[in-house]
A and B are shown apart, each in its own frame.
Chain A
C-alpha cells in the first residue's frame, strides 16, 4: 500500500475563546517527514492531535489520501502515534505493548508475537522484550513506543515531541534512528517539536508555526537560508538584529555604514528598522578605527563565535573559522563587514 498524503485545510480550533489554530493550511507529501515547529502555544500539538482524531477542529478539514477524516474516530484512523512520554502500558511488557495494536486488529497470539518481535528487532530492543516500563530507560521506552506505533503498519505516523524528555545524547541518536526508519519504511510522518535543530536535521519539510498559523513551510535549508518572515528568521538559528535605516522607497537599508538591498523591498515604509543578519554573514576586520569592539570569543571547534559591541551598545555576532580567529581577542577594535546579499528587516 503506498503512503497517503496528509492535507490540513483551513484548520481552526479555539479553547475558551483563545485560538490555538487559526486557519492552518499544510500539505505533507506521501512518504515524507514534516516537522511542525514553533514556540510553545503555537498550536502544533493541537494540530497533531486533530490529525490523530484525539481532538476535534472547529473548522477546516484533515484529508488523508484525499479523504476527509473528520467523521472517523481516533481508533479507526489507522495512525500510529508516539507521545512525549509515559505512554507505554505499565501492566504489559515491551513485547505485549508492541502487540497491543495487533491484538485490537484481531491477530492471533502467535502471529502477533512474531510481528511484535520483528518490530522490537527493528528498534534494536529484541533483548528487552520481557521488560516492563519501570525496567527500561526513557530512550528504550520511546523506542518501544515507536515500535508499537509502527507495528500496525499505520497509514500515517504522528510524533508529539517524542524526544523532549530524553537527555541530549539519546535525543540526537534516536532522532537519527527515527529518520532512518521513516525513510526506509516510506511512511508519511508528522513530527511535532519545539527544537529547531531537531526539525532542521530530520525533516523533508519544516512547517514553522506561530499563533495558530503557518509562517513558512519549506525544506530545512530554505527555511534557514531564505526565511519568509522575520519571525521565522529569528526563530530558526541565530540572528543579529542591527539598527538600520530603511530608504523611503523601502528597497534598501543602511546598516553599519553600508547600504544593502532589502528582500521583499517596498513592503514597508522607510524609517528606523532592525536588520536581520546571520552570524555567518558577518565578518570582523581588525582596524584601529573600527566601529566595533570585540568583547568575547567563544571557541566551538571548527568555528569561533565572536561577539563585538557597536558604539551604541548593539551586540554583533560573527561565526568565523577558528583558524582565522586568533586576532579577534577581547578589546580589539574591528570593522563590521556584511555579506553583499539582500536582507530581511523587522520592527526595531
Chain B
C-alpha cells in the first residue's frame, strides 16, 4: 500500500465537496443577507418568507402529497417486492424494467398518460393534489424498486418466511412481523427518496396547473429572487432533516443491542 491512493482520494473528495458546497454556501449566505455589503447577516429574509402569501398553504400541500405518496408507495411496493422475491424470482427482470421506465419517459408524457388513465375518476381527484400523488408514485418507482430489491436480496427471505409460517404466522403477519423489520433500512431509504421527490417536483405540478410548494416558489421567485432561493433552501433542509432522522432511527436500533460481538465465541457455521 502506498500513500498515493489516499491523497488521490482526498483530492477527489475535496473537489466534489467544493462542487456541492460552494453553491450551497453562496445560496445560504445570500438568504442571510450576506450579499448586501452594507448590512450584517440577518434572518429577516427567512422570517419574511413565512409571511409571504401562500407560503404555509403550499408547504402544507407539498408535505401532504409527500406523506401520502410515501405511504401509497410502500403499501404498494413492499408486499409486491416480497412476493416477487419469494414466488416469482424470474419475473424480477421484467418488473425492474417496468419500474425503471419512468426514468426514460419524459415528464410531459407521464403527466398526460396519468391524466388519461384517471380520466373517468371524479374531479375531486383528477383536479386536485391527489392526482400528483399518483404521478409521484409512478415517478418514484425506480428508486423504490432498487432500494427494496437490495434490502430483500440481503436477507434469507424464503427461509425466514417459511420459519414464520411454520410457527403459525399467516402471510400478512409474516410480512409485517418478519420481513418488514428486517428490511427496515431499505424501506426507510425508499421512503426518503419518494418524499424528497414529492417535495421537490416542479415540472408535472406546473404542467397540471396545481399549486405545490415548488410551483409557489417559482411564482414567488419571479417577483422576489430572495424568496425563491430561501424557499429552495428550506426544501433542501427539510429533506436533509428527514434523511438524518431516518438514518438515526436505523442506528438507534443497533445501538440497543449489547456490545458483545467483539468477543464472539467460536462460530460453528460454514457456509
Binding site for B on A (CB under 8 A): 52-54, 73-81, 83-91, 100-101, 104-105, 130-132, 134-141, 145, 148-149, 152, 158, 165-167, 170
Contact = CB atoms under 8 A, between A and B. Distances in A.
Interface of B: 155-156, 159-160, 162-170, 173, 177-178, 181-182, 184, 257-258, 260-261, 264-271
B130 to A, nearest CB: 35
A130 B166 CA distance: 23
A17 B218 CA distance: 63
A137 B267 contact: yes
B158 to A, nearest CB: 9
Nearest to B262: A135
Given A75-B169, A152-B168, A87 B163 contact: yes
28 contacts: A52-B166, A53-B165, A54-B166, A75-B165, A81-B163, A81-B166, A83-B159, A83-B163, A85-B269, A87-B159, A87-B163, A89-B163, A89-B164, A89-B181, A91-B178, A100-B167, A130-B258, A135-B257, A137-B264, A137-B268, A137-B269, A138-B270, A139-B268, A148-B167, A149-B167, A158-B166, A165-B270, A167-B268
Contacts of A136: 265
A167 B166 contact: no
B165 to A, nearest CB: 4
B269 A54 contact: no
Given A74-B166, A83-B162, A165 B271 contact: yes
Contacts of A79: 166
Nearest to A140: B265
B169 A104 contact: yes
Contact of B160 (A89, A101, A134): A89
Contacts of A145: 163
B48 to A, nearest CB: 47
B257 A54 contact: no
Nearest to B180: A91
B211 to A, nearest CB: 42
Nearest to B259: A135
B155 A90 contact: yes
Given A54-B166, A75-B165, A84-B159, 7 more contacts: A76-B168, A83-B162, A90-B182, A104-B169, A104-B173, A149-B166, A167-B268
A86 B271 CA distance: 10
A165 to B, nearest CB: 5
A166 B268 contact: yes
Contact of A54 (B165, B170, B173, B258): B165
Nearest to A89: B178
Given A83-B163, A89-B182, A90-B182, A138 B168 contact: no
B255 to A, nearest CB: 13
Given A80-B166, A105-B168, A152-B168, A135 B159 contact: no
A322 to B, nearest CB: 31
Given A75-B170, A86-B159, A132 B257 contact: yes
A86 B258 CA distance: 21
A75 B166 contact: yes
Contacts of A91: 178, 181-182, 184
A60 to B, nearest CB: 21
Contacts of A80: 166-167
Contacts of A101: 167-168
A289 to B, nearest CB: 50
Contacts of A84: 159
Contacts of B155: 90
A141 B164 CA distance: 16
Contacts of A158: 166
A91 B250 CA distance: 12
Given A104-B168, A105-B168, A87 B265 contact: no
Nearest to A141: B269
B33 to A, nearest CB: 49
Contacts of A85: 269
A85 B162 CA distance: 12
B167 A104 contact: yes
Most chain-A Cβ atoms within 10 A of its Cβ — which of B162, B169, B268?
A: B268
A267 to B, nearest CB: 43
B178 A137 contact: no
B120 to A, nearest CB: 38
Nearest to B167: A101
Contact of A152 (B159, B164, B167): B167
Contacts of A74: 162, 165-166
Contacts of B261: 134-135
